[in-house]
Chains A and B, each alone.
Chain A
Amino acid sequence: MSKLSELAKIVEEGKVAEVEAATKAALDEGNEALTVLNEGLVEPINVLGEKFRLGEIYVPELLIASKGMKKGVEIVKPLLVSGDMESQGKVIMVTVAGDMHDIGKNLVALLMESAGFEVIDLGMDIEPDEIVEAVQDNADCKVVGMSAMLTTTMYAMQDTIEALEEAGLRDKVKVMIGGAPVNQKFADQIGADGYSTNAPLAVELAKKLAHE
């Protein structure tokens, strides 16, 4: 087996501690940095991502493997030509104002990273104007993802959309929402661009919105 294939296998199997050495070995074998990135690091994560979407593997298998991928990327990145690293796009993720529940948002953020998004996670209890500021500071941001767990905080999503409109930024980003009390009817009511019921669907939605 070539060192490149070995690397892909190690990443897919989640053997995080072995990734650094395997990445160096794949480079030493004579493979281009971009090839090592795409075939040795990104491709196994894509395979796992698809298996996870189909319910064939557990989320920790994907997330632990992603940790391994990131270790390999740190080694390969300095060797790449600028523009080589393809990203799905930049996404800002938040739990809205007044809400301290973030496990759902964290899970979606992790899966988005595994899927190739650059994620800016602002955290929890984030006011509308902080979100507007983050969108202003990240002109290349394509999607804003908002999460809420409570009926008493979900209306902050509406406030945020209104704040983006007032700042003249509403047509610069797509807004997607999620969380237990939220539903499609609410998403339509507040003018969100999308709503998803679970984390894998959120990633698919983000991909769709980012390329619209």
Chain B
Amino acid sequence: MDRSMFNNVQKCGSPLRFLTEDEMEEVHTKSLEILQEVGSVVDHKEAREMLAKAGCSVKGKKVYFPHGLIEWATREAPSHIHVYDRDGDLAMDLGGRNCYFGNGSDCPTILDVETGEHRQFTLKDMEDCAKITDALPQLDFLMCCGIMYDYPVTSYEHQYAAMLRNSTKPQVVTATNRESIKNITKMAVAVRGSLEELAKKPLFVMYNEPISPLFHGVEAVDKIMYCAENMLPTNYSPCMMPGATGPMTNAGALIQGNCECLVGLTISQLTHPGAPMVFGGSMYNMDLKCMQPTYCSPEAIVNNIALAQMAREKYKVPSWGFTGCSGGKVFDAQAMNEAAQYIYSIGFSGTNVNHDVGFMNYGLTYSEELLVACNETISQMRRVFDGVVFDKEHEAMEVIKRVGPKGHYLSEEHTLYYNNTEVWQPDLTDRADLDGWKAAGSTTFEQRVKARTLDIINNYVPKQLTKEQDDAVEAILKDADAAAESQEKKR
């Protein structure tokens, strides 16, 4: 499948690194200090027993971690996770400075493309978002984008089915608890054939969170353990709001976020050494006037990149991050300004899994238009970070000598070849001269993005699951709903 003309490795001689070697060591040692002295609440009995056996001191639900155990865990986790698409082809090599982009999950509302209204998410919206992500060449994975209100207990299973049915791209999935991720795994197995095959060729990465500060909930821990038991990849991302649930300063937020990630990593590796885990967080400060998480603030960008740097350079594990989002309420210049800054920051820093493209309004509203627009920005950014290629053909010495002083290159084969294979071509970006732009309708970028979004929604047909796979998914959904209903009746 044609994912992109440009590769995903960010070629940048001096990548953006906010932390020096000493500063990374400082974050690490301060995290060890907090985890040993202050500890963390691990609200999962079996996990606490496992941690106690491994040398932790446990008092009630509070666990105190010895340095050696944390450092052991960082050495056990793998440095790369290969993720495959629905067809079984390699889609993402998470590790190093490879960068991949996807949308986000569980927004309560969507920005209606036709009416501009902020309205509740529907199943059709979920299907549309999956289709759009499938159609956009620069998007590498999908998340569900919105909340499935119609299914209070099995919303995550229905969300997964919608993603699976409407895109061949790999997914990052959310789940309520062990039972829920088990159901999602069953659906992924319906595509892969077996759990062993799924572990060998993961189709999804699970998304999971602690609760800042320093609290690891029973379901979150259980889900880490489920994934580790089955060697399925997951992240464990603090969704900290510095100023509210974490320190206001970047250094303080980093230390706390690092602590929270390290606990998840330790539980994962103790459950099964070598279990694949993506390390990093979403640490966007709370705006202390409107009291919403900023999602896209300069401080959030710094936190994002710095914690991912810890993952990549200190612990040598795949890194998690977010990008392409805005605090705005409409798809306008602010939305593009914030989203584009964020996307370019990823190019400089090389974070592996970058989600939330298309998020607006503090993560409460999903915008299909912002997603479509960001596809263009990501493709530009990727071309920038392809940098300069040096070889005989690219140095073009033979052409320069032949064209000579005051010649021109317009009719050169060299020009045509590299224009067609490497030069970035605009899609939604306007480059016409003024008269040409007027002749084409004097459209704005917003208008062109809206037209494209509607075109994809109305006309794009993603590759379907086979009938056998689709029937298997439907059967799993029915069982999940029936089990949920019977539990509801018992209550």
One digit per residue, 1 when the CB lies within 8 angstroms of any chain A CB and 0 when it does not, for chain B 409-427 equals 0000000000000000000
State the CA gap A107–B120 with chains docked (Å). 26
B244:A103 contact, CB within 8 angstroms: yes
B153:A60 contact, CB within 8 angstroms: no
A198:B217 contact, CB within 8 angstroms: no
CB-CB < 8 A to B72: which residues of A?
A: none
Interface bin, chain A = 20 to 34
A107:B291 contact, CB within 8 angstroms: yes
Other-chain contact of A100, B153, B176, B217 (Cβ < 8 Å): B217
Given contacts A180-B108, A181-B108, A185-B120, contact A151 B149 (CB under 8 A): yes
State the CA gap A3–B39 with chains docked (Å). 46
List residues of chain B with CB under 8 Å of any chain A CB.
43, 106, 108, 120, 147-149, 152-153, 155, 176, 211, 215, 217, 241, 243-245, 288-292, 364
B147:A151 contact, CB within 8 angstroms: yes
Chain A interface, >50% SS class: loop
Measured CB to CB, the closest approach of chain B to A150, in angstroms, equals: 8
B211:A101 contact, CB within 8 angstroms: yes
State the CA gap A100–B209 with chains docked (Å). 12
List residues of chain A with CB under 8 Å of any chain B CB.
52, 55, 57-60, 100-101, 103, 107, 150-152, 154-155, 180-181, 183, 185, 198-199
B288:A59 contact, CB within 8 angstroms: yes
Given contacts A101-B211, A151-B155, contact A58 B176 (CB under 8 A): no
CB-CB < 8 A to A59: which residues of B?
A: 288-289, 291
Other-chain contact of A60, B149, B241, B245, B288 (Cβ < 8 Å): B288
Measured CB to CB, the closest approach of chain B to A99, in angstroms, equals: 9
State the CA gap A116–B211 with chains docked (Å). 30
Measured CB to CB, the closest approach of chain B to A159, in angstroms, equals: 8
CB-CB < 8 A to B241: which residues of A?
A: 103
State the CA gap A151–B108 with chains docked (Å). 9
CB-CB < 8 A to A180: which residues of B?
A: 108, 364
Other-chain contact of B288, A58, A100, A103, A198 (Cβ < 8 Å): A58
State the CA gap A101–B215 with chains docked (Å). 10
State the CA gap A196–B106 with chains docked (Å). 20
Would you list the 7 A-B pairs with minimal beta carbon distance, nearest first?
A: A58-B288, A152-B176, A59-B288, A100-B217, A55-B289, A100-B211, A103-B245
